[in-house]
Amino acid sequence: MNLKILFITQDDPFYVKIFFEEFFVIYEDIRSIKAVVIARAMGKKSMFQLARQMYEFYGFFNFLRMGVRFVGYKVGGLGLPFTKTNSAYTLDRLCRLHGVPVMHESGINSSQFLQRVEEMGIDLIISVAAPSIFKEGLIRIPRLGCINIHNGMLPNYRGMLPNFWQMYHNEKAAGITIHEISAGIDEGRIIAQKQVPIAPEETLDSLIKKTKSIGAHLMKETIQKIESGSAHYKENRVEEGSYFSFPTRQDVREFRRRGKRIV
């Protein structure tokens, strides 16, 4: 019996779509994906505060470069006459081109959303950069639980932007971990892990893109193991690992001082 899978993610204009572009090509049973939920971030920061945080992170010139990418993403997603109708500018359009239903949700822990998921009979929920913490009500619904993909070798590099911190600490490889979702952040049991070499000329931008693409393959293998009952789970000993928050301006300066580049 094929699994009924639900992805929960966000409308990220830079990196999330890379994961799904790869996954939709390599995953044979695309019809088992009952929907990709594009959830709206429910953080307390205003657009101005977010823009300021990104400006401090990228710096003036890279902020402009990423801004051009963002505008291209938004304009392409409008489906204007001068854009190609068969081009997947946005995650929404990418899903529809592959025949995958899309759900736009403002609150993934709301009673209305939980009821919809229950009615769909979902077996497995997969988080790919989901913008909200899964609460107990959502975690309990799928028969085989909820899993998340994290770009760090858990229990190390829990938290925000793990690829940044792995480069910051001069790691030779970046990690990818697929783990169960529990009440704590990045604390569920580990199902699969893989290391990706960090090239000498690597930028943070190129490393994130690389780990997203490779992560799609690891996710495919993990789903197949869960479905066949051959997945092995190991404890995620968070007390032995590390946790990092979003980099400050000082962190970014030190990152660059160490010879690293964002873009």
Q: Where are the domains of the chain?
A: 5-255
Q: Is the pLDDT of residue 73 over 90?
A: no
Please give the pLDDT value at position 85: 47
Pairing of strands 5-10, 146-150: unpaired
Homologous superfamily, domain 5-255: Formyl transferase, N-terminal domain (3.40.50.170)
pLDDT in tens, 204-219: 999 999 999 999 999 9
pLDDT in tens, 27-42: 999 999 999 999 987 5
Pairing of strands 33-39, 5-10: parallel
